[in-house]
A and B are shown apart, each in its own frame.
Chain A
Amino acid sequence: MAKRIDVKDLDIFYGDFKAVEGVTMSVEPRSVTAFIGPSGCGKSTVLRTLNRMHEVIPGGRVEGKVLLDDQDLYAPTVDPVAVRRTVGMVFQRPNPFPTMSIKDNVAAGLKLNGVRNAKILDEVVERSLRGANLWNEVKDRLNKPGAGLSGGQQQRLCIARAIAVEPQVLLMDEPCSALDPISTLAIEELVHALKDRFTVVIVTHNMQQAARVSDRTAFFNLKATGQPGHLVEIDDTQTIFSNPTVSATEDYISGRFG
């Protein structure tokens, strides 16, 4: 199921503005990789290039390579829609579809891609909701609207929706930043469980969170405002937090920066 990602010399642009420069890194399969760094350093931007969501923004384009098990995602023959079926994404703010029930939200990815069989859909809905630790809370109200859940439940609903299409990789863009500590804990436990089946990449502003959930951590920084962001280093989370190679990483992690 899970695949590895290799990024090679990736430059990311918004129109003429170079937002991120020269990223080269690899993400191991069946592991959690955290992206940390100050605001505006491009960690979310890098994340969005991993499933070609970056180009949804007008003017967004990239140069360089992103390999998913040796397949270049930016090769001219590759269909971005197919990429996004393989690499799923969870967003910063919970965004369930407001016109759909809980069940339809989870099944949306399959239904919109042509799966009609009610039995298959029911199975996938239950499996995904169990996978997102939400089944017990919602099993009696699957036909109620998804927007009626609490914020933390909505975010787990979005995770269930993302894993329902069985992606190889799951990208999470600050999935806990709009949630309270208890919901955050629930999501973190879920991330831990998800890495058995998926390659997970998570962007976070919370360094304790990165230390808690991730196996490897990538630190991004930018030299100055208006300059492109860049990858400073990527290593085992243990090493990054105890003995980083670059002093800028240590400064950021220990709070001495700027």
Chain B
Amino acid sequence: MTTDIAAPEAPEAPRPTVSLDGRSGGRKAKNTLATVLVWAAFLLALVPLVWIMWTVLGRGFHVLLSATWWQKDQSGALPPGFDTNVRGMRHALVGTLLMSLLTTVIAVPIAILTAIYLVEYGRGRVARVVSFMVDILSGIPSIVAALFIFAAWVTTFGLKIIPACASLALAMLMIPVVTRSTEEMLKLVPNELREASYALGVPKWKTIVRIVLPTSFSGIVTGVLLGFSRVAGETAPLLLLAAYTPYLNENLFSGSMAALPTLINNQFLSINDPISGQRVWGAACTLILLVLVINLLGRLVGRLAKVKR
């Protein structure tokens, strides 16, 4: 083998001397510039967030400290300018929770089953159409979703508007959010796990239920809670389908029901009145707190079910 390879005939060209000490000045400057730009962008993105928190907490947090705020509704409230009590937002908090929960109960099964279909079963044209529909649904303005439910519920079926109608409209907004996030989580499950399960003689549906879903559980929960947060702060469908009322209503299927966003909207009409102002900022603060609590809860659930190491 040694004789086959001919030695190179040309003499080796002199190599340039390479300096190993220190990075070149130009590259160092570019690095510094990029670092500064990245940090500046980060701080700029932080400005609105901090500002919002500052404003809302500064104006509304003291309202949350009163027990009445959590215990009472707005019954007995006098017209703006005459009332001297802030009173409570229990009716709105209960309304928001009930309507958002019903929305979740309607939307999550549909969304998760759609995501399972798209990732595990969907092939060809039908899957493309379904995926496209989900995209369209996520682009629908919330007020249009509310109008659609109004048209179907009242015009077509001739029924009376109830708070659950708002949940139906909100479900239309929640389905695409949860479908997309669940889809991404299911795609992250390695195919090898599915194959390992099939190779043990486990049917496909059982593989999905017992292997794929548990593996992606925490991600799916996170997606559901993001959807819940989005829905809890949604306003337009409530304005159309769940008229504001100052009284507590715990029945989703009759009467009208208040919610935190509609409470804010209602009191905003007289925001220059200090009492109404406190109600607006207090409700805003409560809404942010609610979303925060939901998110923390989600993280906790996600961590408990986390892939063990």
Contacts and interface: CB of A to CB of B under 8 A. Distances in A.
Interface of A: 51, 53, 56, 58, 81-86, 88-89, 91, 93, 95, 97-99, 101, 108-109, 112-113, 144-145, 147-148, 158, 161-162, 165
B152 interface: no
Contacts of B214: 99
A54 to B, nearest CB: 11
A146 to B, nearest CB: 9
A147 B206 contact: no
Contacts of A82: 201
B203 interface: yes
B215 A98 contact: yes
Contact of A97 (B199, B203, B206, B211): B211
Contacts of B193: 95, 97-98
A88 B192 CA distance: 15
B200 interface: yes
Interface of B: 123, 190, 192-203, 206-207, 210-211, 214-215, 217, 307-309
B192 A113 contact: no
B308 A109 contact: no
Q: Which of B123, B196, B200, B211 has the most CB of A within 10 A?
A: B200
Given A85-B201, A97-B197, A109-B201, 8 more contacts: A53-B195, A81-B198, A89-B199, A95-B192, A97-B193, A113-B200, A148-B308, A158-B196
A53 B214 CA distance: 23
B123 A98 contact: no
Nearest to A110: B200
A81 B193 CA distance: 16
B206 to A, nearest CB: 6
A205 to B, nearest CB: 19
Given A97-B193, A112-B206, A112-B210, A84 B307 contact: no
**Binding site secondary structure of chain B:** helix
Q: Which of B190, B196, B201 has the most CB of A within 10 A?
A: B201
Contacts of B200: 84-85, 88, 108-109, 112-113, 161-162, 165
Nearest to B214: A99
A85 to B, nearest CB: 3
Contacts of A95: 190, 192-193, 195-196
Contacts of A165: 200-201
Contacts of A98: 193, 215, 307-308
B207 to A, nearest CB: 8
Contacts of A97: 193, 196-197, 211, 215
A99 B206 CA distance: 15
Contacts of B194: 56
Contact of B307 (A91, A144, A147): A147
A145 B214 CA distance: 14
B196 A81 contact: no
Nearest to B216: A99
B195 A56 contact: yes
27 contacts: A51-B199, A53-B195, A53-B198, A53-B199, A81-B202, A82-B201, A86-B201, A88-B200, A93-B192, A95-B196, A97-B197, A98-B215, A99-B214, A99-B217, A99-B307, A108-B200, A112-B202, A112-B207, A112-B210, A113-B200, A145-B307, A145-B309, A148-B308, A148-B309, A158-B196, A162-B200, A165-B201
B197 A112 contact: yes
A52 to B, nearest CB: 9
Nearest 3 A/B pairs, CB to CB: A85-B201, A145-B308, A109-B200
